[in-house]
Amino acid sequence: MCGIVGAIRANHNVVDFLTDGLKRLEYRGYDSSGIAVFNGEKIKRVRRVGRVQLMEDAAKEKGLFGHIGIGHTRWATHGGVTEPNAHPHISGGLIAVVHNGIIENFEEERTRLQGLGYEFESQTDTEVIAHSVKHEYSLNGGNLFEAVKSATQNFHGAYAIAVIAQDNPEEMVVARMGCPLLIALGDQETFIASDVSAVIAFTRNIAYLEDGDIAVLRASGIEKLIDKTGNPAQRKVKVSELSLASLELGPYSHFMQKEIHEQPRAIADTAEVFLDGGFEPENFGENAREVFNDIDSIKILACGTSYYSALTSKYWLESIAKVPTDVEIASEYRYRDVIANPKQLIITISQSGETLDTMEALKYAQSLGHKHSLSICNVMESALPRESELVLYTRAGAEIGVASTKAFTTQLVVLFGLAVTLGKMRGHISEEQSHAYTEELRQLPGSIQHVLNLEPQIAAWAQKFAKKDSALFLGRGIHYPIALEGALKLKEITYIHAEAYPAGELKHGPLALVDENMPVVVIAPNDNLLDKVKANMQEVGARGGELFVFTDLDSNFNEGEGVHVIRTPRHVGILSPIVHTIPVQLLSYHAALARGTDVDKPRNLAKSEIGRASCRERV
């Protein structure tokens, strides 16, 4: 993903907003950045490879000034990390464009435009947009709205774009298809951004564009807006309640550290719907009871960390609710032949609600005849909830660190609540057992706080990991997905190669990797598989492997040569996977610190939007 911003400010310089907004969007991409503004005579552009600060310094040095402008922070897709590939892209000195997304048919469009005489200076798909709009601008007599409308009809793929023209300095045209874009309204100033965090310091009045929307903006607001059918439309303006403080570090060194420590509160907030209202289907939507009674199975579609939360939930949904559950990576599901079952509930999980592969997978499922869908995400009114029949939002708050932490654990809380809800409806859970689950949820934030208190011990372990090149994570049963998540976190932010396996699979290949240089992290709670995990650990020890064991206070483990043990609080039963997520997050965080990597902005990675937080309609 990339981050885009833009502004028309009748009485203020836009440069300050553009640079501030891009800094807040760096989690979406930080390979390069740039801004383009109209300075009263012509469009002036500054681009730099690297962080936004380098571009900001260059803009200040050049004395960049203007009342209308656009900006972009890039995560490279087409073409390398070079200044010519950085946005904004300009065509003929007349049209400037920033773009988030991927134009899938850009090669055909590039060939077409080259045939019309346009020369390309980058390898990006975005330059196609600039030249296409420029061409249509000439054909439409300098009407920027019509130019963008005509140009977008040629594009296949996903995009959020903002366009300005040198000879039309009073307006900006924006368009959205598959990528998030919002319009923010101030006093004689109008802003656009791919995420609310970029504008919240300037205004809280937000309108979210929908797929197919094209809008003309002026300093006074939205002058014209059409929807995907070409008809005039309006988008409700809402007041964002996202806290500016939630976007600041406060006393923490990194956003990842802050977000790890915010998990007791995030989990308590997310669990509140079940603690106050019980495990009732209406928590998921007005017609959820009818939907849940009509399904015979579940398929969950997700990517990355959300996929691992789905794998965890499969154990709950099948053991508690007795509902057959299948979990698929969204980016794979959407490209294979599928046997559809109209009575299967499709669940999509996404922190942002805008994950393109997951969104397209949902559309694919619906095209095959799946009529029931549920979205679990952290962003109100995002794409996935809008396309889903049912929705339940996590209440993680803004998550800025690229490596997801509290989004993962709050997703698990919602999925657990779903399993218990379905179990009650199907008669597999008594009222007494339901109350017991409620009490376990109520105590969960306190258990997580106890694990956070182990941070100094985990940080000491991390010093050993920082010197390694590879690591192995093991878990059994419902804790195997937590091992997967632990390995993902370690590789994401430390660049240490890490793999995760079910512990029972050791002898089927991974054991060949084990020696004194391969640290082995074991998730070993005091559950019914503990003895089997201990046997797997013996296999590692016999090969000279060094074991790092996360277990429970009431487990019978002894430290010794090559065996290190950290005990979390007493075994918390069925919610143990959530508790054991915290130590592997802390291990990765402190190993990254020891290695000196950029914790919040790991190389080659970026994040989708952090969320709209809660909004209320503007009166």
Active site members: 2, 607
Locate 135 and state its tokens: 């061409």
Q: What is the DSSP letter of 405?
A: S
Tokens 């020369």 locate to 119
The secondary structure element, H or E, covering residue 15 is helix 15-24
CB 588 within 8 A of CB 490: yes
Q: Is 604 left (phi over 0), alpha (psi -120 to 50) or beta?
A: left
Instruction: Residue 75: name the closest of 20, 22, 138 by CA.
Output: 22
Cis peptide before 519 (omega within 30 of 0): no
Please give, one letter per residue, the 3-state secondary structure of 34-88: EEEEECCCCEEEEEEECCHHHHHHHHHHHCCCCCEEEEEEECCCCCCCCCCCCCC
Burial call 458-474: b when 16+ CB within 10 Å, e when fewer: bbebbeebbebeebbbb
Contacts for 80 with CB less than 8 Å, ≥ 6 apart: 123
Q: Tell me the three state secondary structure of residue 90.
A: strand
CA 570 – CA 551 distance, rounded (Å): 9
The DSSP-derived string for 94-108 is: TEEEEEEEEETTHHH
Number of C-alpha atoms within 13 angstroms, CB side, residue 143? 10
